[in-house]
Structure 1
Amino acid sequence: MKAAFLIPLLAALWPAHAPAEGVAGDFDYYVLSLGWQPGWCRATGDRRDARDCNPGSGRDFVVHGLWPQHERGWPDHCATDERDPSRRDTQAMADLMAPGLALYQWRKHGRCSGLSAAGYYAALREAAEAVRIPAPFDDLPRDITLPPAVVEDAFIEANPGLTPDGITVTCKEGALAEVRICLTRDLEPRPCAPDARRDCSRSRVLMEKIR
């Protein structure tokens, strides 16, 4: 096969959402990821005896990360001159996420922000604290199944400025996994690029009750 035909073929086969080798600070917008904690506990946390999954923990949507994103694809594990956060820095994030997760998010995504570790954590905190969790989901008393669009609509109603093209839901094994909200570099709501839109194609998803 001639190279002139091979190159377009490879480009067509390469996933549109594949991560790209990144340069720190070179990205277009952020995705704020909020995980449904009961679903994570069922799928992963219970096997790890995670403390956040204990009965009475009362966790609903929790911060997973703040991810620099390109209009197509995303960077990760970027080279940066910024130092990794100290243990004290990651421990200070414990009210939002486990310190180990805070370190992982910095190494994979935060280094691509062009910010220092402290600056990245401050941006992550600002983004997370600006989002209001819809009332129907902050104390779910029993398991329910519902269309993913219901979750999106509830977030849009609770957060003026969010639009249908600026939020997406992901699912795993038939259960709600995450809500992802697209933000400008200044942390204002914006439309998601096509490869960051609705990842859950199921007509209904399970939301486990709050523990």
Structure 2
Amino acid sequence: MKYWMTLWLVLATGAMAGPRNQGTPGEFDFYVLSLSWSPSFCLTHPDNEQCSGKGYGFVLHGLWPQYARGGWPASCAPQSALSREEMDKGAALFPTRALLKHEWAKHGTCSGLEPLAYLEKTDAALGVVAIPPQLQPLNTPPTLQAREIEALFRESNPRLGNHGLAVICKGKVLSEVRVCLSKDLAFAGCPRSVKSQCRDGDIRIPSQR
């Protein structure tokens, strides 16, 4: 009996930590603004249109509704295709239209907002977060520690606080920075489910492509 209770708790905890299949649009606690370091993405996706010599640094990955207890709603119903007007609006925010369509279907549909309103919210979220001058495409050092990247973002965003973002790595390479925002786009402390995922020591920051 004790074994089955332990197994149930492990499964329940695991379920809470991951994505939900669908969910109720608008029922979530905060947003994560995910900013992808494009040169790292292009190391493994050189043929993607994002990587055609555009010289991107941080680009929008997405604005994601999240649960405070961990996990997030995903692919909420109803699913609807974006109109031409919505695609044009989103194309000014996302590095590719393919990413725009994916992000709307997986995350935007769970925001409780119509497509244009979600894209305007995303645009506003991008305006909240200042990219540090040291992490602009032409200025980046070849390596930094994750804590140094966090410190640079706090320096450029004084209201961010000590627990308002997470640095994400793939191996020893910078992948993303994720910033926690309230539903009205104020800086918010990240719960334990949103935390830095980098090894100790220097991490590589690939140069622009």
Same fold (TM over 0.5): yes
State the 1:205 CA deviation.
1.1
1:20 equivalent to 2:20? Answer yes
2:65 alignment partner, SS class:
strand
Partners of 1:19 and 1:52 lie apart in 2 by: 26
Name the stretch that deviates more: 13-22 or 191-200.
Answer: 13-22
Preserved contact between residue 33 and residue 63 of structure 2 (Cα < 8 Å): yes
1:111 maps to what in 2?
Answer: 109
State the 1:140 CA deviation.
3.3
Preserved contact between residue 141 and residue 210 of structure 1 (Cα < 8 Å): no
Provide Cα deviations, 1:94-145, integer angstroms capped at 9, x if missing partner. Answer: 2221111111111100111111111111111110122111101113357612
State the 1:7 CA deviation.
4.2
State the 1:193 CA deviation.
1.0
Preserved contact between residue 142 and residue 210 of structure 1 (Cα < 8 Å): no
Preserved contact between residue 83 and residue 117 of structure 1 (Cα < 8 Å): no
- TM norm structure 1: 0.89
Q: Among residues 172, 179, 182, which one is paired with 1:181 in the alignment?
A: 179
Partners of 1:154 and 1:190 lie apart in 2 by: 17
1:70 equivalent to 2:67? Answer yes
The number of equivalent residue pairs is 204
1:68 alignment partner, SS class:
strand
- TM norm structure 2: 0.89
2:48 maps to what in 1?
Answer: 50
2:205 maps to what in 1?
Answer: 207
1:93 equivalent to 2:94? Answer no
1:145 equivalent to 2:143? Answer yes
State the 1:146 CA deviation.
1.5
Identity %: 36
Structure 1 consecutive aligned stretches of length 4 or more whose deviation exceeds 4 Å? none
* Aligned residues: CA RMSD: 1.9
Partners of 2:163 and 2:103 lie apart in 1 by: 25
Query: What does residue range 20-39 of structure 1 map to in structure 2 within 5 Å?
Result: 20-21=20-21, 22-39=23-40
Name the stretch that deviates more: 32-41 or 89-98.
Answer: 89-98
Question: Match of 1:17, as an amino acid?
Answer: A
1:127 maps to what in 2?
Answer: 125
State the 1:202 CA deviation.
3.7
1:60 maps to what in 2?
Answer: 57
Partners of 1:115 and 1:136 lie apart in 2 by: 35
Partners of 1:8 and 1:30 lie apart in 2 by: 32
Q: Which runs of 5+ in 1 are unaligned?
A: none
1:79 maps to what in 2?
Answer: 77
Preserved contact between residue 133 and residue 139 of structure 2 (Cα < 8 Å): no
1:52 alignment partner, SS class:
helix
